[in-house]
Amino acid sequence: MAKKNTREEIVLKGIAAAPGIAAGQAFLMDQPDFIVPERSILDEEVPVEIARFEEAVSHTKSEILTIRDKISKEAGTKDAQIFDAHLLVLEDCMLIDEVIKRIKTWKFSAEHTFSLVLKRYIEIFQNIQDEYIKERSSDVSDIGRRVLKHLMGESRVHDFDSFTDDIVIVAHDISPSDAVSMYNKKILGFLTDIGGQTAHTAIIAKSLGVPAVLGLKDATLHISNGDYIIIDGRKGFVILHPSEETKHLYLKEKDKLAEVEGSFSNIKDAPGETIDGRRVSLLANFEIHGELPAVKRQGAEGIGLYRTEFFYMNRLDLPSEEEQYQAYRKIAEEMNPHPVIIRTLDLGGDKFLSSIQLPKEMTPFLGSRAIRLCLEEQEIFRTQLRAILRASSHGNVGMMYPMIAGPGELRAANAVLADVKKRLRDKGVPFNENMPVGVMIEVPGAAMTADLLAQEVNFFSIGTNDLIQYTLAVDRANEKMAQFYEPGHPAVLRLIRRTVNAAHDAGIKVSVCGEMAGDLTLAIVLLGLGVDSFSMSPTTIPRIKRAVRSLKFSDVEELARQALKLSTGHEVVDFMVTEIKKIVPDFYMYDAQNK
């Protein structure tokens, strides 16, 4: 039973990590650091302490492997690979050797020595500017607690099976090993003080299918066990001690969302077509096989962006050609005759690769990433190309290169592709000789040479997330720069218009697969600019489809022309919202941002 609200309502703002609305009692996960007493040892005790340490590491490895097997069965291989990062920590020779060396020189107990070395490692991770690497400190902390548990004979495993009521998990941080224990339990959602959208917590939140808000800074200082809280994972809000009025409003909002989602069923199989007959394809962005039911359920007409880098991240080895081929083939066969557009590796920048050692770069987003990395690491690239080509004989498969800056990089990539094709042909391996090959337009250089690129590819796909970042010189992962990240900025819209015109002049089609494609207002701008297809999160497809089917292309084409005359992105959005409401008054009725 929820406690009666006798305190003032508090609204906390964090990072929207997983969408949805949840309300219930808070369960505060207490995860304090172990208090490790300083204990000196004698010379003759050194071998004993080293043996204790090695045994604790061995027990922890077995524990992690058990957890990984469990999550693999319950949630799939992709989520289980998260724990490969933990195994990498346990197999770090530098860490293990340093602890053994310090036991010998410092003459402290294994647990005290390990805690001191671990603390230094965590500080190193947290001081690294790269956000993805910084967030990996939680992996090191989680492993450290498990090793210390075995050294000190303590247990801090949370028993989620004992919960009899639905709860909202509240924590400073949630380790992957704790999160895996939440599968199939009575968990409504969770929130944390720290973490960002690249944290393992965010990944698992989406896998669990529950709303989550991260990066709340000091939520655990405000929330106590049993407090009634509301999570709005769409906007990143957490409401503590909500008033009866707020509870009622959110209950109504939740019912409305359910009603709207239910109404989408009658247009699931309808085409994405405007009132006056302009036809656009509505496709899904895709990462792992477990998302396929949602892709089909939401009426996607294909997969417009198959992100393949997740085969490579958080694992101890590189994926083989056969592993990739089987994965691509399965998706191609299950989606056939609908298209499946596979993006070649887009690693680097904020995407961490565990399997090969890459030099640290001061500006990783401007360094060796995506197609540049593939051209440098050609064996990895060729392995993937062989897998994609082999899969192309089993369905409607296309392929595109990320981060192409101009014709030079395109030709270099195509030269590798041509050689891989020749070798497969010589061996008699079947593949689609006419598999469509495209490029992603993500940097101004590509947009400005779109007329040249269009002569050498079969299609364009505009990645608006990076196009905005590089055009406006704004780090999209930096919260302090959020006010400067304007998707509707005139420079961005003009580059998109230039790209669309160049594509159509060359007789090829252009898609948009960035977040703009799933934004209710900006998608209409893109429609007016002549974009042929949109690729987005599967759950967004019905909303965009309804929007497209509510308008005339002639109207939105004129609105886009007017929007291009405006000075700022904010002006563009305000203008579009105002004008669209004049045409369709209830257009934004259930939209979280523009209603």
- Residue numbers annotated as active site: 200, 513
SS3 track for 173-230: CCCHHHHHCCCCCCEEEEEECCCCCCCHHHHHHHHHCCCEEECCCCHHHHCCCCCEEE
Q: Could you tell me how far CA 1 lies from the centroid of its own chain?
A: 36
- Measure the CA–CA gap between 276 and 279, rounded to whole angstroms: 9
- Measure the CA–CA gap between 354 and 348, rounded to whole angstroms: 11
Q: Which residues contact 362 (CB under 8 A, 6 or more apart)?
A: none
Helix 137-152 × helix 110-127 angle, to 10°: 170
DSSP 351: B
SS3 track for 227-286: CEEEEECCCCEEEECCCHHHHHHHHHHHHHHHHHHHHHHHHCCCCEECCCCCEEEEEEEE
- The full DSSP string for 554-582 is HHHHHHHHHHTTSSSHHHHHHHHHHHHHH
- In DSSP terms, 26 is beta-bridged to 168
Token pair for residue 308? 């393949």
**Phi/psi zone of residue 254: left (φ > 0), alpha (ψ -120 to 50 degrees), beta?**
alpha
Q: Which residue has the tokens 């592993």?
A: 323
403 exposed, middle or buried (CB, 10 Å; 0-12, 13-18, 19+)? buried
